[in-house]
């Protein structure tokens, strides 16, 4: 999804351009409006914007000043300036900057539409795999990547000492650009439904490709280190570019948060478009100190699990409160394969889990292991993976754990294997049901919010903030749950409310328009007639006749 912001201090121009571009029905284009440079800044401070269509001369904050701020906050944002004949000096300054175009106001709407379409094609081109992977590959140092991954996985296990002097020496030797004395922000990412990648190597290559893409993007405005954790998921540790004290200012990290949320959507687009993979990201807003890294990491994984829906193409932000008990680092399973099994269960990867479960029982099935004590050891090791998951998710009522610890209750190891497999199937089913339930609850909350705030501007960005999702994920989940787009639901809600007001209250048409979110009488009239086939006055007359 791309976000376009129309900026002009003349309301009729802003509304007109937004209406024309909305009428094109370009898939994935979310259009917003700002009636001044300062209002545009409010948008740009809180959201990633991909295209800004702006007047170059405005009071207070003009187009060129706006351009400088955009360049600092969103380097990839494209700008299209609308200018007059006497703006040569401003035009000359603007065209020296990357990604800036200009149009004369006299060239008409057709030219504006053509320029917007051309910019969208450019943005699509930047998301192509070859371009981005080439940039990432140029930055890649294989030995350094492996060394960094091993070192930080070591830290995440909680086995590394907390002495900052030792940490600083390790960072120096490994050429890690993070500051060992300052806290970090954490981003946890998962690749969803990797069944199309049959081998371990292919899955690792896909994860590495996404890691390298993220590294390339994040380096534009931050210091960062990315790694693939023991579950096959992605983790980035991130700090500001300038780590000189005092670095812990809320303003500094808030800017990084906005940059991360917008950039992760770009990475997701590449995953879908070029790698044919869906991804999910969880961003921790809390500053993480190195001493608490293992516990915070485990807690973020726990919060990522408590998501609505399947998580595909979701960017979720979480906060670890000061009194929030960051769960202790889980007991390490003795076998690497058991760790992978636990990771598949934790990540909801059913196919990979069942495939590995079958693989673990293969030595007994083929007679390479005895059926006695070794079969019992394997059974209990696998049962403990399931019990650990049940305990963490508090599923004791749905899945009793006592029977899992009775290997001797089964007539054969084959029967025990079938029992474990069925228990795992049940756990995956419960997970899907919980995700679907959370999705339904979240979308019901969105609908309630729309009904309650029907007189206000209800942009997708605003609704996404309310439920703490990114806009593209909310749009997809809402369509999946409700069977219609968010914008369609909002229009239906406004029509219902307008009809209700016409029938029950003797208000002026302009007042009714304002109550359903239309400050302009002309806009309300166009909207109402398009939806009902009648003008507001015709409908009022019809409603009164019907009531008699």
At 261 the pLDDT is 87
- Residue-wise pLDDT for 473-523, tens only, equals 999 999 999 999 999 999 999 999 999 888 877 888 899 999 999 888 888
Q: Which two tokens stand for residue 347?
A: 């990540």
Taking alpha carbons only, the member of 260, 230, 232, 242 closest to residue 152 is: 230
How does DSSP assign 184-228, residue by residue?
Answer: EEEEEEEEE--TT--SHHHHHHHHHHHHHHHHHHHTTTEEEEEEE
At 325 the pLDDT is 42
Q: Assign residue 313 a region: left if phi > 0, alpha if psi is -120 to 50, beta otherwise? A: left
Of residues 326 and 276, more confidently modeled:
276
| Omega before 246 within 30 of 0, i.e. cis | yes
Beta bridge partners of 82: 55, 103
What angle separates helix 164-174 from helix 142-156, to the nearest 10 degrees?
160
pLDDT at 139 over 70: no
Q: Are 368 and 448 in contact (CB under 8 A)?
A: no
Residues in the chain: 548
Which of the residue ranges 144-148, 369-373, 537-541 would you say has the lowest mean pLDDT? 369-373
Across 330-368, b (16+ Cβ under 10 Å) vs e yields: eeebeeeebebbbbbbbbbbbebbeebbeebbeebeeee
At 333 the pLDDT is 34
Q: Is 234 helix (H, G, I), strand (E, B) or coil?
A: strand
At 496 the pLDDT is 92
The torsion of the CA quartet 139, 141, 144, 145, rounded to 10 degrees, works out to: 70
**How much is the average pLDDT of 106-126?**
89
Side-chain half-sphere CA neighbours of 118 within 13 A: 12
| DSSP conformational letter for 101 | E
Q: Determine what percent of the chain is predicted with pLDDT higher than 70.
A: 85
φ, ψ for residue 21 (rounded to 5)? Answer: -70, -35
């Amino acid at each position: 999804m791309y976000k376009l912001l129309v900026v002009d201090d003349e309301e009729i121009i802003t509304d007109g351009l937004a209406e024309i571009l909305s009428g094109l029905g370009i898939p994935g284009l979310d259009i917003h409006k700002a009636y001044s440079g300062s209002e545009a800044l409010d948008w740009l401070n809180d959201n990633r914007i991909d295209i800004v269509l702006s007047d170059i001369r405005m009071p207070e904050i003009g187009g060129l000043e706006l351009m400088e701020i955009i360049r600092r906050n969103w380097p990839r944002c494209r700008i299209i300036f609308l200018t007059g004949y006497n703006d040569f000096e401003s035009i000359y300054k603007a065209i020296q900057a990357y990604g800036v175009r200009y149009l004369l106001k006299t060239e008409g709407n057709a030219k504006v539409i053509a320029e917007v379409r051309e910019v969208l094609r450019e943005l699509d081109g930047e998301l192509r795999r070859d371009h981005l992977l080439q940039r990432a590959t140029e930055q890649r140092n294989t030995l350094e990547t492996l060394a960094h991954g091993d070192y930080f996985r070591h830290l995440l296990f909680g086995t590394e000492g907390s002495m900052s002097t030792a940490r600083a020496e390790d960072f120096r030797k490994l050429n890690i650009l993070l500051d060992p004395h300052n806290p970090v922000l954490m981003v946890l990412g998962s690749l969803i439904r990797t069944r199309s990648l049959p081998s371990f190597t292919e899955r690792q290559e896909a994860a590495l490709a996404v890691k390298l893409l993220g590294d390339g993007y994040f380096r534009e405005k931050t210091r960062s280190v990315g790694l693939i954790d023991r579950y096959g998921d992605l983790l980035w540790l991130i700090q500001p570019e300038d780590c000189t004290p005092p670095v812990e200012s809320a303003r500094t990290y808030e800017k990084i948060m906005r940059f991360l949320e917008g950039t992760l959507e770009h990475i997701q687009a590449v995953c879908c478009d070029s790698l044919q993979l869906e991804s999910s990201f969880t961003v921790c807003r809390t500053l993480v100190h190195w001493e608490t890294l293992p516990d915070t990491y485990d807690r973020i994984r726990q919060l990522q699990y408590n998501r609505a829906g399947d998580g595909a193409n979701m960017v979720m932000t979480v906060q670890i409160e000061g009194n929030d008990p960051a769960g202790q680092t889980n007991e390490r399973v003795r076998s690497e394969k058991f760790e992978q099994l636990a990771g598949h269960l934790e990540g909801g990867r059913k196919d990979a889990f069942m495939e590995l479960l079958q693989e673990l029982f293969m030595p007994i099935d083929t007679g390479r292991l005895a059926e006695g004590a070794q079969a019992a050891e394997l059974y209990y090791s696998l049962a403990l993976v399931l019990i650990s998951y049940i305990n963490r998710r508090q599923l004791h009522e749905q899945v009793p754990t006592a029977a899992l610890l009775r290997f001797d209750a089964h007539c054969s190891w084959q029967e025990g294997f079938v029992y474990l497999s069925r228990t795992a199937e049940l756990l995956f089913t419960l997970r899907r049901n919980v995700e679907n339930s959370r999705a339904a609850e979240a979308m019901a909350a969105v609908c309630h919010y729309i009904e309650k705030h029907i007189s206000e501007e209800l942009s997708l960005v605003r609704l996404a903030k309310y439920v703490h999702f990114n806009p593209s994920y909310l749009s997809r989940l809402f369509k999946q749950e409700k069977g219609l787009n968010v914008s369609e639901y909002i229009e239906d809600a406004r029509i219902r409310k307008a009809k209700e007001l016409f029938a029950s209250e003797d208000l002026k048409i302009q007042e009714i328009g304002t109550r359903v979110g239309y400050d302009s009488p002309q806009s309300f009239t166009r909207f109402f007639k398009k939806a009902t086939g009648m003008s507001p006055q015709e409908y009022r007359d019809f409603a009164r006749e019907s009531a008699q």
